[in-house]
């Protein structure tokens, strides 16, 4: 295993994969944040769960119109 990490190509590939995974995770989190903000702002949920969703949005700092 020590020889694997001493190899320049292995280090490059590992670093590249880590960077791509980090960027991908950031994109997913941003996408979820945007979708949640849209849902809270436009009340996109079942009518019978309205009060619970409004409370959750306000507690988590999302704008509710």
pTM of the model: 0.64
Distance CA 19, CA 32 (A): 20
Q: Kindly list the domain boundaries of the chain, sorted by start residue.
A: 2-59
The answer to whether residues 61 and 39 touch, using CB atoms and an 8 Å cutoff, is no
Could you read off the pLDDT of 3-53 as tens digits, one per residue? 766 678 878 888 888 888 888 887 788 889 999 999 999 999 999 999 999
Pinpoint the alpha helices (H) of 1-65.
2-6, 8-42, 50-59
Instruction: Tell me the C-alpha distance between 30 and 59, whole Å.
Output: 19
Cα gap 53→65, rounded to integer Å? 13
């Amino acid at each position: 295993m020590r020889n694997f990490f001493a190899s320049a190509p292995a280090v490059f590939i590992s670093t590249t994969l880590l960077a791509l995974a980090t960027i991908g995770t950031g994109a997913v989190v941003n996408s979820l944040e945007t979708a949640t903000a849209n849902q809270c702002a436009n009340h996109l949920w079942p009518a019978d769960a309205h009060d619970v969703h409004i409370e959750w949005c306000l507690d988590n700092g999302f704008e509710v119109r």
